[in-house]
Structure formats: C-alpha cells, structure tokens
Amino acid sequence: MAPPDATLKVAVVGAAGYVGGELLRLLTGHPAVAEIHAHSSSSAGRRWSEVHSSLVNLPAAPRFEPVDAEAAGAWADVVFLALPHGESQRIMAAVAAGDPRLIIDTAADFRLVDCARAERTYGPHAAPELLGRFACGLADVEGARLAGADRITVPGCFATSVLLALWPLAPVLGPASAPVCWAATGSSGSGARAKATTHHPFRAHNLFAYALAGHRHEAELDERLGAWCGSRAPSCSLLTHSAPIVRGIHATVRVAPAEPVVDPNRLLSDSYAGRPFIRVLDHPPELASVVGSNHAHLHAASRRDGREVIVAVVIDNLVKGAAGQAVQAMNLALDLDETAGLEAVGLAPC
Amino acid sequence: MAPPDATLKVAVVGAAGYVGGELLRLLTGHPAVAEIHAHSSSSAGRRWSEVHSSLVNLPAAPRFEPVDAEAAGAWADVVFLALPHGESQRIMAAVAAGDPRLIIDTAADFRLVDCARAERTYGPHAAPELLGRFACGLADVEGARLAGADRITVPGCFATSVLLALWPLAPVLGPASAPVCWAATGSSGSGARAKATTHHPFRAHNLFAYALAGHRHEAELDERLGAWCGSRAPSCSLLTHSAPIVRGIHATVRVAPAEPVVDPNRLLSDSYAGRPFIRVLDHPPELASVVGSNHAHLHAASRRDGREVIVAVVIDNLVKGAAGQAVQAMNLALDLDETAGLEAVGLAPC
Amino acid sequence: MAPPDATLKVAVVGAAGYVGGELLRLLTGHPAVAEIHAHSSSSAGRRWSEVHSSLVNLPAAPRFEPVDAEAAGAWADVVFLALPHGESQRIMAAVAAGDPRLIIDTAADFRLVDCARAERTYGPHAAPELLGRFACGLADVEGARLAGADRITVPGCFATSVLLALWPLAPVLGPASAPVCWAATGSSGSGARAKATTHHPFRAHNLFAYALAGHRHEAELDERLGAWCGSRAPSCSLLTHSAPIVRGIHATVRVAPAEPVVDPNRLLSDSYAGRPFIRVLDHPPELASVVGSNHAHLHAASRRDGREVIVAVVIDNLVKGAAGQAVQAMNLALDLDETAGLEAVGLAPC
Amino acid sequence: MAPPDATLKVAVVGAAGYVGGELLRLLTGHPAVAEIHAHSSSSAGRRWSEVHSSLVNLPAAPRFEPVDAEAAGAWADVVFLALPHGESQRIMAAVAAGDPRLIIDTAADFRLVDCARAERTYGPHAAPELLGRFACGLADVEGARLAGADRITVPGCFATSVLLALWPLAPVLGPASAPVCWAATGSSGSGARAKATTHHPFRAHNLFAYALAGHRHEAELDERLGAWCGSRAPSCSLLTHSAPIVRGIHATVRVAPAEPVVDPNRLLSDSYAGRPFIRVLDHPPELASVVGSNHAHLHAASRRDGREVIVAVVIDNLVKGAAGQAVQAMNLALDLDETAGLEAVGLAPC
C-alpha cells in the first residue's frame, strides 16, 4: 500500500466534458493527488467553475489549460484522457512520449484489441499498433490484475453495466445463451453539448429506444465474452434506450444458461465477494441508490426452473461508467487503496 | 353507423381512481354520450373536480354517487367498471341484472378465460361461471369483431403494449421463439393512492425492475398467444420496470421467429393497415408522442439476418392501456365511429 | 352566434415552432375550421408530424409550405402569425395586403401601443404606423369587446398570467402598490431549438432566476396597468424564473392595495363571473391542473388585515399563454362560440 | 484547531427521516467522528441501508437502535436531534441529563427565543424554560460566535435560505422595507413518508403555492430580523411553493431598502468575505449547482436606481438547510475545521 501522502501530479485531457468534470470532482478529493492540470481545447483560459458549475464550491478557482499532449505526458504521473471518440488515438503517441507512469483512456479508442473488429465498428484507426497495448479497466472484475498497469482503457458505460451483469454467469454461458440486454441511459450520456434529443421539452418525460438494428458497443461485449468464454461465447444483443433521467444506467440482462441456474443471485454474491464497490441485493436494484457513487448494485432471478436467468444492474454512468471506474483503475494500478477518493455513498433521495 | 346524436346513458363504477378519471374525461367529450353517472365508494358526495383536478375545467361540476351496482346496471346503457382487481367479479352479477346494453370491465377479473389459469394467477374467483362470457377488448386487433358485444374485458396496460407488438408476429412465432418483453411503466400505473414506490423523492429520478422472477400479467400474454398461435405458441417473459414518468408504457419485445423475418416493420405496417389508432414508424417510437392520445406507435427492426426481431411500442397507459381502449371498444361494440371521443392527438411537448 | 359549419380557411405562419404546433393541434380540432395552411421557412416540404411528433396522430399527414405572406393573407380568412420576435412587423403589411378577415399575432411586435416604449424595449420598429392598430387579445378580460376585431395582438405568456392576476385588483391599485410578480416558466417557453439552458442534464432538476435587474415584458405590464388605472397606475416588477417543467407558468403576485382588501378571492370571483376559462379556487392553484387546457386557475389571499394581497395564478404557457388564447380571440372576434375548439380539460395526472 | 484524529462519539436521534439520513451520510465521512449511534423509534433493529438506500454503499452495515434519550445523552459527545416538530422539547431534558458536550436540534422546537411568539406559532411548549438556552445555528452568519456553544438550534430550510439573503441587507432595512420572499422547495422537505402532495403522479410536473395567508416559519424570520435590526426591523412575508424537484430551495427576496443600494451584489460579497460555504455569483444562482453540497449561492440585483433590491439564493434543503449546517455548527462549536466532513462540491449535472 502506497503512503497516503498526496504526491501525484495528474493531468486530465478533455476536461470540459462531463467525464472530464467528474474526473476533476473526484481527483480534487483524492488523498494521493497533489496537483491537477485540466486541459481543454474549447475552454482554455476559463475557470473550471464556468464549465462545471458545482466546482465553484471548491476552495480554489483554477483555470483550464490548452491541450498539449506532449506537455501533459511529460509533466504528469498520471494522464487521464476524456476526449470524444477518435481523438485519443491521434494524440496517444505524443502523450506516451513523455513517459508518464500511467495513461488511462476513457474513450472507445483502445477498448477493442482486435483491429479488424475495431475498424469494422468505428472505421480506420490512427494508431492500430497500440491496440492490445492497454489493459482492460473493468475494475471490479479485473481488480488486482491491474496492479502495475501503465496503459488502461476503461469500458464504456453501457458495456460496464452489462459486463458486470454477465461476468458471474460466464461459466454457464453457451453458444445458444443469447444474452439480450435492455439498457436505459440518462441524458448526461449524450455529452455536455445541447442537442435535439436532449432538449428538455423533448426529453423531460420521454423514453425511446435507439440503434435497434445493432449498437456499436456490442463489439466490446462480444470481445469480452470471447475473452471469458472462449469458443462457447454467445453473441450479445444490446437494446439501448434513452430515459428521462440525467445520471445513471439501468440494464436488465436475460440469458438462457447452458445449464439451469436455480440461484443466480448466489452466483453473483460469490463472484463479487470482497469487491468493495459491488452490492448484490436481495431485491431488484434502484438506480437512485448509486447516483453519485462508484458502486454497482445487482440482483438476479431465475425463471423456468433456472433455464432463464435475469440480471438487473444499476450504475452511475459518469462515475462507475466512466470517471469513477477510471480513478478506481488508477488506484489499483498504482497500488493505492482501491477506494481512495471514491468513498462517497451517493445522494438518495436526490 | 349509429347517428351522432348524444343519447347514451353511461355509468362509471370506481370513478375516483385514475382510470375512472380518464373515463370521465373522455366520456364528457364523447358525441354520443348524453349523461354520465360516476360512482365511487370512497368519494361519494364529493365533486368530480375535488378528486380529478383538471375536471374543474368542465363547464359543469357534478358529484360522485355511491356505488350501487344494481342501480347503475338498471339505469345505464353502458356500464364501465374501473375497480381494483377482485371487485368486479363480486358485483358483476348485480350490474348484469339490470341488463345494460354493454358492460366493459377494465380490471383483470375477467381477462382470463381459463379458470384454472385465472385462479393459479389471482386466487379463487368469485364468479368463475362468467369467465369466458367476455369478449377480448384488444380493440386495435379485434376491431369489427367487437360489433354487437355486450360484455367486454379490456387487457391491462402492459398486456396491451406487448400484445400490440406481438400480434403481427404471431404467424412466425414458434415454441422456441422465447418472446422477452422489457416494459417500463409510469407512476400513474400504481394508482391514485400515495405509496412508498411513488413517493416523489424516491421515484423522481429512479428506475427499477420488479417481479423479475415472474409477473402475473404473463398469464394474459400466454393465453392470448395460445389463442393466436395454437400449439406452436411460445411462452412469454415479461420484465417490468418502474420509470420516472407519470403516464405511459414503453415496451421492447425481442423474439426469435421460427423463420427469418428480414423486414419486420413491413409486417407491422401490413398487419395494422387502416387501423386508426396505430402508427408504424420508420424509427423507434417516442413515448411522449402518445401521451394524452389513444394511439400506439410501433417500430420493428431485425438483426442476425432476420433471426432476431425487436419491436418497440409506446402507449399512454391510462388511455390506450385502459380508459381510451375501453371507449374504443364501446364505439366498436355499439357501431359508433371507432374514433368518436378519442380524437385528441396528444400534447407533446409536455 | 355563427353557424357551426366548418367554413374558415386559416393560415398559420411560423408553424414549426411550439406555438405554431399548438395552433395546428387546436385548429385541426376546431369545428369552424375547414382548411389549414401551415407555413414555415425552416421546414417547408416536411410533414407536420416530422416537426410536431404528436401530430402523427392526425388522420391526415399534411406538409408545411414555405412562408409567403401575401399568399397567406390573400387565401386565408384568418392568419395567425407565430414567428420569432421582430419578424411579424416585417411582413405584416404584406399579409394585410390580402385583406384577410382577421390577423392574430402571437409575438411581441404589436403588443405595445406606445412607440417610444416599444422602441426603448425592443429597438427600432419596422412598422411603427401599425402600433395601435391591434386590439389587445387578453381574451378573458376583453371578452365581447373583441367582437368584430380584425387585428389582434395576443399578450405574452408571462404577461397573460400576471395580468389575469392583476385585473381584478385594478380598482384598488395605487402608485405605492408596488406589484411584484414572481413567475416561473417551463422550458417550452424557450422555443423548439435546443440551447444550453434547456439542455436536459442542466435543466432537469434546476431552478433559477433570470433578468433580475429588469425584464422587457414589464413594458407590457406597465402599459396595460396604465390603461386600467390611469394616473394612479403603479409600476410592476417581474421576477422571472426557469423551472424544471415543460409546460406552464406559475405566477405569484404581491401588491399593497391602496385600501385594505379583506376578501381578495371574492374580488376575483366577482370579476371573472361567467368567464368560461377562468376558475377562482378556494385554495392555491396547481399548475398540473391546467396543462393542456385553455384555462387559468387563480386564488388570492390577504395578510396584514388586507394591506397585503397575494394572488397565485397558473396557465399553460403554450395554450392560454399563446395558441389557445389566440384561438379564443378568434372565436370572440368572429362571433363564434368562445370555447369552440378549446374544450379540452387538460390531462392531470400527466 | 482540534487534532484531526477521530475521537468523537456521536448520536443521531430520529435517524430514519431524511435529515437523519443526511446526518448519517455526512458523519460517516467526518474525520473527527469515531463512532455513531443511530436511534429511531420506527426503524429500530433494521439496517441503516434498509431505510436510506444509498447507505448500502458504506463499508459496514450498522443497525438502528431504539430511541433512548438518556442513554444517547450519556454515551455521546455530540447528540443530534432530527425529530418531527414537537418531539425534541419532550426529550430534551433527558438528553441533557447525560451532559453531552454538545446538543444540536434540527427541528423548530427551540428556534424561537420569545416564548409568547413560540406558543402563538406552534402551540403550547413542553420545555419553555429551555427557550433561549440555545445558540442560533445559522452557521454562515454566526461563524466563530458558535465556538464553545453546548446547545445549538439550527434554522429551518426556508429560514436559512431567506436569512442568508437578508443578512447582508440588514444595515439598510427599515420599517417600510417590506421583505417579500418567494421560496420554492423540493419534495424531500415534506419528509420520508408518502403523502398526497408528494405522490409522484401529482407532484412530478407540478408547481403550487401553499400557506399564502401566512406561514409559520415567518416567526423565525421576524425574530431574527428583530435581533439584527432592532426597532427598525421590518416584518417579512414568506410565500412558499412546492416545486417538482427533490432537493433544494430557491428563494427570491425583494426589499425596498431604507436608502438606495446601487450595487447590492457587492454588499453580499463584502458581507460574506472569507466564509467558506458562501459563493456570491455575478449571475443568478442555479439550484442544481448546490445539490449535494453545504454551499449557498447568492446573487443580488437592483432596480429603480437602487430603491428595489432583489436577492436570489439557492441551497440544498437537506444539507445547508438541515444536516450540513448542523455539522458545520458542530465543527464551529468544537473548534474543528469548519469544513470538516463537508467538502463535497455537489453533483451537477444530476
């Protein structure tokens, strides 16, 4: 265990977005972090609080710096990248040139190891030679395996929720298990820029599906299931929905296990025993209970004598689904207390 | 076609609940309705508007009468029952004794024809001899088959949404189709009485599943699929969720058809051609677009070369899922214009 | 009373905005309207339902036409203008050239009669000679005085709510009455275009004041108070707020009457006796009870032995505060039933 | 400054309500708190997390104890009372008998010093001899004056917001200043028990005033203004509203100062210079920016050449308006770092 003294220099690149704001919020309260540089191309020169309104409650009032990938990499011990998809891959070499102790990417750029799959899903990749160079940052599953990692890619918010539901079931999945994942996200998942689908009059009391014919985050799910299940891995259907909430993801996953599972909740409890941010409940989880925290709540039930298993899971998309998991991954990689800076229990009712 | 003159005497029994309030709202605007008696055991003597606040906007200010099943049945041409589950079956004989032209029940009491299934699902039935005496009021599917009906049972709000999604697919369903229905309901579905799960601080920004190990409305789905598909009928899994909305149901149904369906949206369009309250869209439906209307919006997509079909459907749970469908069923049974009193297009943005 | 036959040809110019959409919704259900042309510069050629999603529930699927002020004025019996501020004044002469029977403007362009005040408030006016040519469309106050009007300007949503609260008090106002109006609006008041203050993650659970140092709609209030009170008219302070609702305005007005008013609610009841869209309640009004209707609900209380009077009022900003009041004004001007097309009671709970 | 070691034993009496839950949330993260006993009459024996769902995210899973006022007072260094109004006064003597170092009451029982006023407002008092024995816990105003206090009464949430707005203006208030405070509260202010006005279908998109003829919390305001302004103190009108939010209070206060105040925002900045939880902004404050934090945000504007001053203020009703301010008062009384345990910046967007 590293000493609790605050010694780390941390850079956040892309700090004006919602994930960037959450990183700033969490890192300013982290006991090992001594100094933070927040880089933003759109907001350089502005105060953090002009962009992230609750940061006006910090004692200090720092300003954003322009994005300078090389300088960030050279100055910082840890560099978090919180950029729109496609930008990390273009600056990763420059960041890495400074040889920081740890780089954590929260975008999709390096989540897929298989280059063909990555390019089929997202188009041509600017740094294909770095695919595979990053450890998977699914922190609650990977745990101690992240110790010493120097490059980490954090799964997306949908993928995190679904993978946390599926991982305990991995041993009983087969090619015909047909996982179907109904997932609903809050509007903060669409980013900080106003758009038609997040216009308040449209979104406030609305609920709608999108990408029903196929969602690109299924690639992450399939690659991970392949890693866990090998040749018996099923392919996963992700049915994404936009809900009239701001924060959070609720996912309900249905699988037909290869053999009956009569007590799937027990399977979950055993799989996550000792993991500090996972709670396996004896009733379906409520989204509001994880908002503002790095926790995931899960519950599983079976039907048809165990031939059908349902797992429900809730996370805060900006914390466990992005910034919080990234900080947890940093803690694990640097051998800090896994929960350092992530002790907030949430804010229900909120 | 009956003449548009307002001649009908209509009684609403259980008029202080949300479905009762919607019936009053719709029937006061119905061109064929001459007079309404609203019966309520809890609110007798009070003005309608003391219970249903927007009814203060009516020109008149009528009061609730006590529940008197025999009197209602004897006075009215049409009796709507909007009572909590279990009460219709206890007073149905008394209502029927007055020989009204039409009785429409919005509760679950007479939805199931199979007595064993009904009692397995809901416990002992007080009037089992009347099971099977009621026509199924799934109005958009039944249409002209309801002409002349004198007893109608309206499907529940979850069942209505899911059945509207499944009906066009009935010809391609098989025993292995495994329909799984993720459905989310607004808080008005829990009724007019305050309770812990509808306490605003709890519900306002929450999302949670319930009854994951089995929901009693699956019995309705299975019975209906049996009627449509016969021996090849699959069994349906209904995964219900509570969403932070007031009105509406959004359901997303996934099936594995017995044979590939490449263009399922076309299947929907063809199935519902000419039906006035169904819109098959070329994109996933948005819940807010049906709030306040009797319409259902649907959209279907296929994956895996048609071996997986997804249908999304939205309805207003109090209108299409209850009061509106009941009025539509009345219109069909009495040979009135099917859309009479149901012309409102909704209120988006709202 | 004009016969109920549908004979009117109606044009809506600026029909792709929220007020335009409400006009289309209301006019398609109006018994005297035979045909509607919807003009939009941004959406010409698109279907109404592509812009106003609930209009997909109409039986027909009409398309927007380009804006052609002269053609609209020449073709229509009634022209509604629902344009952003500043545009009506530029095309009014062209519309009027066609000599339609009635022109109703829902923007601020012609609300002020005093040109100096208008230009001080909004900048140079393009058609100052037409200021004063328009009748004030505060329909619940003006009532029969609108009969025969051929040009009407409808007050804004804030002004409508506040003026309805102040009108009954006009006889007891004095120079020191100091009306202060705390008003909160829903997000639909900001229009159909997404912007930062209506971004769902920002707005969903937020509440904030704006224009605290002075709001330009105070000019409307002051001019109207001048008309009602003459030289003893006080000046009004309007404190506007954005609330996390979609539709509606809630205003709470506090005045110090020139003489004590012990029973102000009685004053309201008497003032609005017989007006079909006003309800004076014996308790503070609830916003949700007027959403979707053309009604205003009011309640007044006194403090300090009548030396302080508080009036609370609620309206739907898009209906009573814009499109509904405009249709009501049309009904009054053309001697139709005042409530024609406006019978909807609202949708609570919603 | 006391050492940061965790040595305090703290009891929370009435820990199953929302304020109690917030105290548990804040105290479990407080660096000086060694042990917490949570007492509840309704929930004794249950786990904290069964009542306060986000507390399942704590590492431990403690249970509520029954209410035992004497035991709590004897065991604890600090006793927080978070009971419904009227209960503190009945058990205060028993709590005090144990001679704890500090007692902090969050209810209204001891807020008023003037017994006649207290009984006029709330009815007969069970411990009138203790009125006046409690220091006023308006922590951001009192600051160091709370050092060494052993009995503290925390102002209510409405009073806290309004008093924070009025305090900087106290020097310029006169008998004719007529402060009028329009305040809107979230539903959590109504407590943890479901009731009609917090039923989600009713509250979700609603906004309504209450107690327009006089609110009992005005007594707190008047007593405090009397303390600040002496004989020139004006009487305050509090106009309370229920808003469709869960957490937070937004208040907008209008006063006519005895002499013109041209730059009231400067007055606010100067008055609160150095206070850690107050932010005086250059624009109207947004409620969402303080949710989950102990901060208050304020902004003032003037009109009519400074003869009218408007102050807007936002707080989290459960934190700054109750539990957070109570912990802040504890910190001040015990000479701990004022911000200890209260460092959270909030959670916008949320």
| Residue pLDDT, tens place only, B108-159 | 999 999 999 999 999 999 999 999 999 999 999 999 999 999 999 999 999 9
How long is chain D?
A: 350
Average pLDDT score over residue span A103-127? 96
A212 vs B299: CB contact, 8 Å cut-off? yes
Q: How far apart are CA C77 and CA C10, in angstroms?
A: 6
Predicted pLDDT at C1: 37
Strands B180-185 and B249-255: antiparallel
Given a cut of 80, is residue C114 above it in pLDDT? yes
Nearest CA in chain C to A198: C200
List chain A residues with CB under 8 Å of C199: 192-194, 198-200
Chains interfacing with C (3 or more CB pairs < 8 Å) = A, B, D
Distance, CA of B18 to chain centre:
13
User: What is residue A75's three-state secondary structure?
Assistant: helix
Residues 242-261 of C with CB under 8 A from D: 243-248, 250, 252, 254, 256
| Residue pLDDT, tens place only, B239-276 | 999 999 999 999 999 999 999 999 999 999 999 999 99
How long is chain B?
A: 350
Average pLDDT score over residue span D178-199? 97
A195 vs C192: CB contact, 8 Å cut-off? no
* Mean pLDDT for all residues in chain A: 97
Strands C33-39 and C8-13: parallel
Predicted pLDDT at D4: 55
Predicted pLDDT at A3: 41
Average pLDDT score over residue span D43-47? 98
Average pLDDT score over residue span D116-144? 96
Predicted pLDDT at B74: 98
Average pLDDT score over residue span A327-346? 98
Average pLDDT score over residue span D6-31? 98
Q: How far apart are CA C228 and CA C216, in angstroms?
A: 20
Predicted pLDDT at A4: 56
Contact D277, D344 (CB under 8 A): no
Contact C143, C119 (CB under 8 A): no
The one catalytic residue in D136, D157, D229, D236 is D157
B199 vs D198: CB contact, 8 Å cut-off? yes
Q: Give, for C255, the enclosing helix (H) or strand (E).
A: strand C249-255
How close, in Å, is residue D80 to chain C by CA atoms?
Answer: 30
Size of interface B-D (CB pairs under 8 A): 57
Average pLDDT score over residue span A64-93? 97
How close, in Å, is residue B185 to chain D by CA atoms?
Answer: 12
- B65 confidence band (pLDDT: 50, 70, 90): very high
Answer whether A302 touches B (CB < 8 Å): yes
Given a cut of 70, is residue D3 above it in pLDDT? no
In chain A, the domains with their CATH numbers are: 8-155+320-333 (3.40.50.720), 158-317 (3.30.360.10)
- D258 confidence band (pLDDT: 50, 70, 90): very high
Q: How far apart are CA D34 and CA D7, in angstroms?
A: 5
Q: How far apart are CA B280 and CA B286, in angstroms?
A: 12
| Residue pLDDT, tens place only, C227-268 | 999 999 999 999 999 999 999 999 999 999 999 999 999 999
Cis peptide before D349 (omega within 30 of 0): yes
Cis peptide before C100 (omega within 30 of 0): no
Q: What's the token pair of residue D45?
A: 């024996």
Contact D44, D6 (CB under 8 A): no
Whether the complex's predicted ipTM surpasses the cut of 0.90: yes
Q: Give, for A120, the enclosing helix (H) or strand (E).
A: helix A115-122
Half-sphere exposure at residue B79, Cβ-oriented, CA atoms within 13 angstroms: 31
B187 vs D204: CB contact, 8 Å cut-off? yes
Given a cut of 60, is residue C4 above it in pLDDT? no
Answer whether C61 touches B (CB < 8 Å): no
Contact D249, D183 (CB under 8 A): yes
Which range has the worst mean pLDDT, A16-25, A70-79, C212-221, C237-246?
C212-221
| Residue pLDDT, tens place only, A194-216 | 999 999 999 999 999 999 999 99
Half-sphere exposure at residue D208, Cβ-oriented, CA atoms within 13 angstroms: 22
Distance, CA of D165 to chain centre:
14
Contact D309, D264 (CB under 8 A): yes
Question: Quick one: which of C278, C273, C301, C298 has its CA closest to C287?
Answer: C298
Predicted pLDDT at B5: 77
Given a cut of 90, is residue B95 above it in pLDDT? yes
B279 vs C52: CB contact, 8 Å cut-off? no
E-assigned strands of chain A?
8-13, 33-39, 78-81, 102-105, 135-136, 151-153, 180-185, 208-210, 237-242, 249-255, 278-280, 296-303, 308-315
Answer whether D346 touches A (CB < 8 Å): yes
Predicted pLDDT at A5: 77
| Residue pLDDT, tens place only, D131-171 | 999 999 999 999 999 999 999 999 999 999 999 999 999 99
Question: Which residues lie below 8 Å from residue D290, measured CB to CB, with a gap of 6+?
Answer: A54, A57, D248, D296, D297, D314, D315, D316, D319, D320, D346
Predicted pLDDT at B1: 37
Catalytic residue set of B: 157
Tell me the sheet residues that pair with C296. Answer: C278
Nearest to B303 among A214, A287, A349 (CB): A214
Chains interfacing with D (3 or more CB pairs < 8 Å) = A, B, C
| Residue pLDDT, tens place only, D52-108 | 999 999 999 999 999 999 999 999 999 999 999 999 999 999 999 999 999 999 999
Position A318, amino acid: L
| Residue pLDDT, tens place only, C266-291 | 999 999 999 999 999 999 999 999 99
User: What is residue C289's three-state secondary structure?
Assistant: helix
Given a cut of 60, is residue B2 above it in pLDDT? no
User: What is residue B324's three-state secondary structure?
Assistant: helix
A314 vs B246: CB contact, 8 Å cut-off? no
Strands A78-81 and A102-105: parallel
Q: How far apart are CA D75 and CA D71, in angstroms?
A: 6
Predicted pLDDT at D174: 98
Q: How far apart are CA D242 and CA C186, in angstroms?
A: 15
| Residue pLDDT, tens place only, D270-299 | 999 999 999 999 999 999 999 999 999 999
What is the value of pTM for the model shown? 0.97
Predicted pLDDT at B4: 56
**Phi/psi at B333 (5° precision):** -65, -35
Predicted pLDDT at A128: 96
Q: How far is CA C158 from CA C140, C181, D333, in A?
A: 15, 10, 47
Q: How far is CA B147 from CA A215, B144, B152, D141, in A?
A: 44, 5, 11, 74
Nearest CA in chain C to A203: C200
Question: Which residues lie below 8 Å from residue A230, measured CB to CB, with a gap of 6+?
Answer: none
Average pLDDT score over residue span C71-80? 98
Average pLDDT score over residue span B83-108? 97
Answer whether D227 touches A (CB < 8 Å): no
Answer whether A48 touches D (CB < 8 Å): no
User: What is residue B325's three-state secondary structure?
Assistant: helix
